[in-house]
Amino acid sequence: MSEFPNWHGTTILAVRKAGVTVVAGDGQVSLGPTVVKSAARKVRTLQNGKVVAGFAGATADAFTLLERLEAKLETYPGQLARACVELAKDWRTDRYLRRLEAMLIVADREGLYTVTGAGDVLEPEHGVAAIGSGGQFALAAARALADTELDAETIARRAMAIAAEICVYTNGNLVLERIEA
């Protein structure tokens, strides 16, 4: 058995449509079957609002990764893809970072990426990406709604509501950030 508690939670969803990208995150943090926080903020803006990031996983680990990402963005201004690749390389090869347990979704005006500790920097198909315990539910719902006349924010809100109805580790307390092209 692990020495760390069995933390669950988080659904992060990004939807890009018609020049608008919305990143939405629920607020629930659970320890086993207990909700320990219902209004956590897992979506943040970086670089004075030019980049939006959402995280799933261990909070301290995610904050460490967000700090590293901000440093990479300062080194490579306006190059989100390169900053993400450099972060992923460090994450995979650095002895300390390798132990971090989190995932990120990051977006700016031009790009949308999922970044993992396995060295992955994935640009999703169909303008939709999701991570976390309810991520697959939110992803499926958003993909189903993507071809409708709904805008990115409405799709994100509806998909997150569906995920919250299905995943016990996801709630309806949303934080949404948007970036327009």
Q: Please state the pTM of the whole predicted model.
A: 0.93
Domain boundaries, the chain: 7-171
pLDDT tens-digit series, residues 80-110: 999 999 999 998 888 888 888 889 999 999 9
pLDDT tens-digit series, residues 105-141: 999 999 999 999 888 999 998 999 999 999 999 999 9
3-state secondary structure the chain: CCCCCCEEECEEEEEEECCEEEEEECCCEEECCEEEECCCCCEEEECCCCEEEEEEECHHHHHHHHHHHHHHHHHCCCCHHHHHHHHHHHHHHCCCHHHCCEEEEEECCCCEEEECCCCCEECCHHHEEEEECCHHHHHHHHHHHCCCCCCHHHHHHHHHHHHHHHCCCCCCCCEEEEEEC
Of the pLDDT bands very low, low, confident and very high (cuts 50, 70, 90), residue 32 is: confident
pLDDT above 80 (res 4): no
CATH architecture of 7-171: 4-Layer Sandwich (3.60)
Q: What percent of the chain has pLDDT over 90?
A: 76
Give the residue numbers annotated as catalytic, written as ranges.
Answer: 10
